[in-house]
Structure 1
Amino acid sequence: MSNINDPKQYFDQLYKDNDDPWKIRNRWYERRKRALTLATLPNDRYARAFEPGCGNGELTALLAARCDEVVATDISADAVELTRQRIAQFDNVTVEHMLLPDAWPEGKFDLVLLSEIGYYLDEPQLWHIVEHVRRTLTPDGTVVACHWRKPMEGWTHTGEDVHARLRGRMGLPLLCHYWDDDLLLDVWTPDKRSVHQREGSM
């Protein structure tokens, strides 16, 4: 089903007959991964977040409760429509059909989430993403990357490859690193203070 030379075709086909191809809504693995992702965020609230590869919008809806504004994008028009349906009750989320890294939203972000998209990018595209992040991240912003560790049929890079490359090029202090047998999760931010330090004295 996959076509490593055409990710857009791959995702268009993936969503053609299935509105939840990875069972993101109900699988405990996916629900746990979302909880871990949100738990690693060093700030309780963010002004403006960017979530590329929003899929069917399950993480997007959770981000909407933690952010004043969320910009979510996906390469698949079907995924964009599913996310719009999922976040219909929120007025602080914008969902756009966008092909990264050729396009990138305007403005600054204090939170960027790179979740499960790195495998589908070749090395120049991944560096282009990092350049976009550096250009649009606020001075106290947070970057989160989360990827599946195991090999993926039809795709060259694993999550291990993606995170090794990101750690080498992000150019920001690594605040948090989590791994288990399934996934990797890294958090970068110029603000190296811990969550406790950010809150100050009790």
Structure 2
Amino acid sequence: MKPNPQQPNTLPPSYFDEVYQANKDPWQFETSPYEREKYAASVAALPRAHYSTAFEIGCSLGVLTEQLAPRCGHLLAVDVAEAPLERARQRCAHLPQVEFQLLQIPQAFPAGQFELIVVSEVGYYLSPEDLQLARQKIVHALLPGGHLLLVHWTPPVHDYPLTGDAVHEFFLQEAYPLGPLAPVHAERHDTYRLDVLVRQ
């Protein structure tokens, strides 16, 4: 993918710092029935009961993190903003298997490989070029037989570089027979979609 000056840019960490400064729970992760149902569907869609190593990109306040943790031996959860990370650390303080880091994907990426990688409501914040780099690093970090969980809001949002559908279709381009990922589960709801892919 060649650089295109007309392509939208990845939303910077300062965007999220300002959003969380204005509202501690800007997307109502803690209170919305929609979010509660979506989190339950996300966890229920995981093909395996337990993952030794897991990586959640864009954990925000840690609401989904807390629900993923019982299924994980070790769960690394990262975000680009410190304010929600502090709330997430408090929320998951009783879960010793959870580790939090301030990290901007794809510019930084953790070492090691994972049996589960979760990209939930975060892919559309990236430019197409950054999403391509993130996809490369995610595929490399996913162990053979490991699962990638994608969950995204599908209606377009003016501020966001991409739509949820664009993010999912971008990852599905890596599906067999052309790529190393294979789809194993898909759901489409009124305002979000959920896909699980396996690393072959």
TM-score (ref. length: structure 1):
0.89
Aligned length: 189
Q: What is the distance in 2 between the residues matched to 1:94 and 1:4?
A: 29
Q: Is the 8 A contact 1:150 1:159 kept in 2?
A: yes
Q: Which of 51, 59, 63 is matched with 2:56 structurally?
A: 51
Q: Which of 115, 122, 126 is matched with 1:121 structurally?
A: 126
Shift in Å, 1:4: 5.8
- Please state if 1:138 is matched with 2:143: yes
Q: Which of 64, 68, 75 is matched with 1:70 structurally?
A: 75
Aligned counterpart, 1:179: 188
- What amino acid maps onto 2:197 in structure 1? W
Runs of 4+, deviation exceeding 3 Å: 3-6
**Where does 1:4-153 land on structure 2 (aligned, <5 Å)?**
6-153=11-158
Q: Is the 8 A contact 2:76 2:100 kept in 1?
A: yes
Q: Is the 8 A contact 2:10 2:161 kept in 1?
A: no
String of CA shifts for 1:160-193, please: whole Å, max 9, x gaps.
11111111135311001110221011100146xx
Aligned counterpart, 1:168: 173
- What amino acid maps onto 1:125 in structure 2? D
String of CA shifts for 1:122-177, please: whole Å, max 9, x gaps.
11111111111121111110001000010112223111111111111353110011
Q: What is the distance in 1 between the residues matched to 2:183 and 2:145?
A: 13
Q: What root-mean-square deviation, in Å, do the aligned CA atoms of Structure 1 and Structure 2 show? A: 1.5
Between 1:161-170 and 1:85-94, the stretch displaced more is: 161-170
Aligned counterpart, 1:198: none
Q: Return closer, same or farther for 1:129/1:4 CA change in 2, 3 Å cut-off.
A: closer
Q: What is the distance in 1 between the residues matched to 2:100 and 2:126?
A: 21
Q: Is the 8 A contact 1:54 1:73 kept in 2?
A: yes
Aligned counterpart, 2:163: 158
- What amino acid maps onto 1:99 in structure 2? Q
Shift in Å, 1:50: 0.3
- What amino acid maps onto 1:175 in structure 2? V
- What amino acid maps onto 1:90 in structure 2? L
Q: Is the 8 A contact 1:50 1:70 kept in 2?
A: yes
Q: What is the distance in 1 between the residues matched to 2:173 and 2:155?
A: 20
- What amino acid maps onto 2:58 in structure 1? G
Q: What is the distance in 2 between the residues matched to 1:63 and 1:91?
A: 13
Shift in Å, 1:82: 1.2
Q: Return closer, same or farther for 1:73/1:169 CA change in 2, 3 Å cut-off.
A: same
- What amino acid maps onto 1:174 in structure 2? P
- What amino acid maps onto 2:150 in structure 1? A
TM-score (ref. length: structure 2):
0.90
In structure 1, runs of 5+ residues without a counterpart are 192-202
